Structure 1
Amino acid sequence: MSKELSENMIMQVLDWGYDKAVGGFLGLDSARDLAADYMKIKGSRRDQANSLIRWQNTKAGTSGFLTGLGGLITMPVTVPANISSVMYVQIRMIAAIAHMGGHNLDDDRVKSLVYACLTGNAAKDILKDIGIVVGRKITENAIKNISGKTISAINQKVGFRLLTKFGETGVVNAGKAVPLIGGFVGATFDSVATNTIGNIARDTFIPEVSIS
């Protein structure tokens, strides 16, 4: 297989992961179902989102969980299973938080915002360019004003950021598409990175001013 990823391949993985996260996959709850479970917890939406993020940093970060995903995920493109697994898990977390914030996961504009959150702190700059400030409530008009051209621009920036990220962590040249869990947990799915992504998603879709 090819040992190199491209931005186009990254986007194919994102689209595949989003479809599986929203629709449900491998017997796992969909993003909506996951959100519904945490929306039963007492507290504000942000409190509920924080509980979801904490869960993501523990159970979903265990080698057993990821080994299962890596062994079962079959991608439509040739991408190492460690990359496709982490993208799927993180996309599901972000999409669940977006749903908790009352956003329509079937909207391509919302999907693009979910992708932006995958870049962590870089999402602040990506979204600021289109007039969305992380930490402030996203109005319905702001989302409606996101054009198809803007979606493409966001996705292009996300693809570039993620490709750079995977290159820095050394998983771009992972070689065979097998779950290399040892380096995977340490380099790609560490709790710090996942926590940052979760916090960005929370601040984007459920800002401080939001109430349950």
Structure 2
Amino acid sequence: MNSEIEQLLQWIANIGIKGFGFLPSAEQVAQNHLAKASSVEDAINSVIAWRTTSAAGTGFITDLGGIATLPLSIPASLAISYALGANTAAAIAKLRGYDINSDQVRTMVLLSLIGEAGEEVLRTAGIAIGTKVAKNIINQIPGKVLIEINKKVGFRLITKAGEKGVINLRKFVPIIGGIVGATFDAGFVNACGQSAKRVFC
């Protein structure tokens, strides 16, 4: 894997799981929502709703701590979307009882960022999701398979940086671009949460 892409994936996973600056750790997010919920599932839905709403307000925010350390030149706004998506997915994994510091779960958190495409990547690797034994299956994924999954995730995340002119629209038409950016961020984070619910069942 290209070393810069590998570093990007590490950056996203680290900030998404451990938090940084205004972004709390995934464990803290999970604890906060579980404390106010009647069940784990309610807490998960609460995390997704809260993160989706907060993501809609990040269209103009580019001051996430650590943004200057990004190893690859992608727009700061997109990097924040990735970090918020990873934070959401990791909080869901924590609520479902997964070890969010394991290599396998870190990869699954990243995989949640590419939605249904990520689930297809798992299927082609012979990994079943959406079953009661998903936790055991994920915990046993060998390192060689994790590397291949990470490669596919990295490629898709970099490709997304230039998709549909969203980034250019933000740059050249600030007000309209901000609205489009907020809509993109909210939809992206919500999709990450829904994907994580299926992966971490």
Give the AA of the match of 2:187.
Answer: V
Report the 3-state secondary structure (helix = DSSP H, G, I; strand = E; otherwise coil) of the residue aligned with 1:117.
Answer: helix
2:180 alignment counterpart: 186
2:26 alignment counterpart: 31
Cα distance, 1:134–1:61 mapped onto 2, change above 3 Å: farther
Matched, 1:120 2:115: yes
Matched-pair contact (CA < 8 Å) for 1:49–1:100? yes
Unaligned runs of 5+ in 1: 1-5, 208-212
1:43 alignment counterpart: 38
Give the AA of the match of 1:191.
Answer: A
Unaligned runs of 5+ in 2: none
Farther off after superposition, 105-114 or 124-133: 124-133
Report the 3-state secondary structure (helix = DSSP H, G, I; strand = E; otherwise coil) of the residue aligned with 1:118.
Answer: helix
2:155 alignment counterpart: 160
Report the 3-state secondary structure (helix = DSSP H, G, I; strand = E; otherwise coil) of the residue aligned with 1:39.
Answer: helix
* Structure 1 residue 33: Cα displacement: 0.3
* Structure 1 residue 56: Cα displacement: 1.1
1:129 alignment counterpart: 124
1:3 alignment counterpart: none
Cα distance, 1:57–1:76 mapped onto 2, change above 3 Å: closer
Which residue of the other structure, out of 73, 82, 99, is the alignment partner of 2:77?
Answer: 82
- 1:91-129 deviation per Cα after TM superposition (whole angstroms, max 9, x unaligned): 111111111111111100111111111001111101112
* Structure 1 vs Structure 2 CA RMSD: 2.9
Percent sequence identity over aligned pairs: 35
**Superposition TM-score, scaled by structure 2 size:** 0.82
In structure 1, C-alpha distance between the alignment counterparts of 2:123 and 2:37, rounded to whole Å? 32
Richer in helix (by share) = 2
- 1:40-89 deviation per Cα after TM superposition (whole angstroms, max 9, x unaligned): 1333322211111111111232047x515358621242422122211111
* Structure 1 residue 196: Cα displacement: 1.6
Matched, 1:202 2:197: yes
Matched, 1:102 2:97: yes
Matched-pair contact (CA < 8 Å) for 2:81–2:188? no
Give the AA of the match of 1:69.
Answer: D
Report how many residues are paired: 196
Matched-pair contact (CA < 8 Å) for 2:115–2:192? yes
**Superposition TM-score, scaled by structure 1 size:** 0.78
Matched-pair contact (CA < 8 Å) for 1:134–1:200? no
Matched, 1:62 2:62: no
2:86 alignment counterpart: 91
In structure 2, C-alpha distance between the alignment counterparts of 1:23 and 1:56, rounded to whole Å? 16
Give the AA of the match of 1:154.
Answer: I
In structure 2, C-alpha distance between the alignment counterparts of 1:71 and 1:102, rounded to whole Å? 28
